Amino acid sequence: MNGGTTPSGPRVVGPAIDHVVVLALENRSFDHMLGFLSHPEPDFDGLTTGGPHTNPGWDSGTRVTAEPHAKPVLPIDPDHSHNAVMEQLALRNDGERMRPTNQGFVTSLERKGRGLAQPAFGGLVGPFLDWWNHRCGPAHPSLRGMGPLALLCQPPSQVPVLSRLALEFAVCTRWFCSLPGETWPNRNFLHAATSDGEVDIVLRPYTNRTVFELLEEEGTTGHRKTWHIYHDDTPQVWAFPHLWDTADRHANWFRLTDFARHVATGKLPAYSFIEPNHRPPLHTLDHDPLIGTPDVSNSQHPGNNLVSPDAYDSIVTGPDADFARGEALIAGVYEALRSSPEVFARTVLLITYDEHGGLYDHVPPPVGVPSPSGGSPPSWTTRLQHSLWYRKADAFDFTMLGPRVPAVIVSPFIAAGTIDTQVHDHASVPATLRALFAPHAKPLTARDDWAVPFHRVLTLAAPRTDLPDLSAYADAAFVPGAAAQGAAAAEFPSTTGEIPPYYADFMKQADFVGHHLIALGEPEGSWPSATAPLHRAVQITEAFTAAARRHREGGTDD
């Protein structure tokens, strides 16, 4: 199907799907990554037609235009807290309800740069935290003139892998993140079709039922307990402890490098979720490397691609940077599948991003969508912490999606140039898995009950033989990252450079996992020797991986 809306009913033709693979990268909007892609089909809703695609500037009366001049790096990580995203969406009353206009991206980033976007806190010690933030000021000097960077988009030449796959397979022009908010709540929708009421990152155990458990308990014969999570850093999906607090489930966690081997040996499960490496590059903002700490991240998070404002104009990044490694990761996953045609013919791959990261998109997200129902009550420790302090966020009813993000669907049964114009959000992942592997299972929430499955674009009667070769981009996708992880654990320097604030949440979660491993009696769970939080997170990740390997029969990675 070329250049049309995906069918609203079940597929009439296409393959039997035995494997679904989802790769979710970090914090990039659709327009930022694909807006200037020259797609031959008129249904492709990018920035090369229509318009004008502008935002009001910081100064009254000025307009900023979206342009394809983005770099892989930024001097500032755009704000993507819930309140900031609501500012970026700039809701207006149309006479019936409040609707987003997407006219606040420039002012939001300018506010962040000028230090005017400090969070506000509630709870008993909230006023003290507010006073402390006001007294200390922003973490960086005031940076003026940052706002227009939010509307700079990647030229297709800078994202050759994602661009080629979007042209050669199916690109979704209406895939939105699940809520206007940060990474963790949006990733939770990928797994549980709910964020359990959260709009920002809240560190706590989440006990919502996930699609992994649904597949175990209600999957059809041949698909029970066939899921893997591939990672090689502190994964966000650790936030669901029920997925690793028993030996059987813990055994389903593998190093990222194992994915290609499982494809090649026919051991791919029904569902594979791939989480990129989030660990920040350990170098100065001017990219002077810290000896002994190889860069391994490949998430494309803007916070992993920061340079100093003075260096931004002249800096040139190469294949050893996080942004390029993200492209290599995409290419590596694709090439692992392409190299095994029999497996690929029974597989559908989704490449997407968890949220937009504060970067511009011109398509306002839908309103009036179903709000997830149910949820687990927070633990007493969570309630205690919330009574002491919490970050304030505007009230939100979960009936509006977040900004649009890239989503590319890959299969030999997809015609080149396919455009999927159906509205999707991250709950389409559990909706697709239910449709394929557990058709009689009840939805996890009202959101995945509403969500449209994404496998309906597989409409060809026979697999294609003209699949693009992206192997030139995939050389560093897996093995170098795994080798670097082992080296990093042994060669930590005495200083680690500036760690992006977002990664503090991953380090805190690693500590929770470390304590939990000890409580579960895992022999690998002795408390790490490292005192620095980042070093400790790496050691906990290695202990977790070693325990998973032991839980597999014979202690192997099969």
Distance set, CA 61 to CA 36, 56, 64, 149, 550 (Å): 26, 7, 10, 18, 63
> 122 φ, ψ to 5°?
-115, -175
Q: What is the mean pLDDT of residues 484-513?
A: 67
pLDDT given at position 264 = 93
**What topology is assigned to 19-52+154-555 in CATH?**
Alkaline Phosphatase, subunit A (3.40.720)
The angle, 0 to 180 degrees and rounded to 10, between the axes of the packed helices 503-519 and 533-551 is 50
CA distance 157 to 144: 29
* % pLDDT > 90, the chain: 65
Q: Are the C-beta atoms of 139 and 112 separated by less than 8 Å?
A: no
Q: For residue 289, what are the β-bridge partners?
A: 283
What is the pTM (predicted TM-score) of this model?
Answer: 0.89
Do 76 and 113 contact (CB within 8 A), yes or no?
yes
Percent of the chain with pLDDT over 70: 80
- The pLDDT of residue 2 is 38
DSSP one-letter code for 304: G
Q: Across residues 476-498, what is the average pLDDT?
A: 42
Residue 341: count other Cβ atoms within 10 Å of its Cβ.
12
Task: Report how far Cα 162 is from the mean position of its chain's Cα atoms.
Answer: 15
Q: pLDDT value at position 525? A: 76
pLDDT of residue 399: 93
166-170, 247-251, 307-311, 370-374, range with the lowest pLDDT: 370-374
Alpha-carbon distance of 449 to 304, in angstroms, equals: 35
The pLDDT tens digits of the residues spanning 320-338 come to 788 999 999 999 999 999 9
Q: Domain locations in the chain? A: 19-52+154-555
Q: Are 18 and 270 in contact (CB under 8 A)?
A: yes
Enumerate residues 6+ apart whose C-beta is below 8 A from 143: 75, 76, 113, 114, 309
pLDDT: which is higher, 488 or 16: 16
Q: Across residues 152-156, what is the average pLDDT?
A: 97
pLDDT-derived band at 9, boundaries 50, 70, 90: very low
Q: pLDDT: is 374 or 241 the higher one? A: 241
Average pLDDT, the chain: 85
- Pairing mode of beta strands 271-274, 92-93: unpaired
Confidence of residue 282 (pLDDT cuts 50, 70, 90): low
Cα separation, 419 vs 167, whole angstroms: 9
Closest CA to 159 of 470, 429, 495: 470
Helix axes 160-168, 322-338, angle to 10 degrees: 40
pLDDT band with cut points at 50, 70 and 90 for residue 128? low
Both tokens assigned to 498? 């500036």
Q: What separation, in Å, do the N-terminal and C-terminal C-alpha atoms of the chain show? A: 38
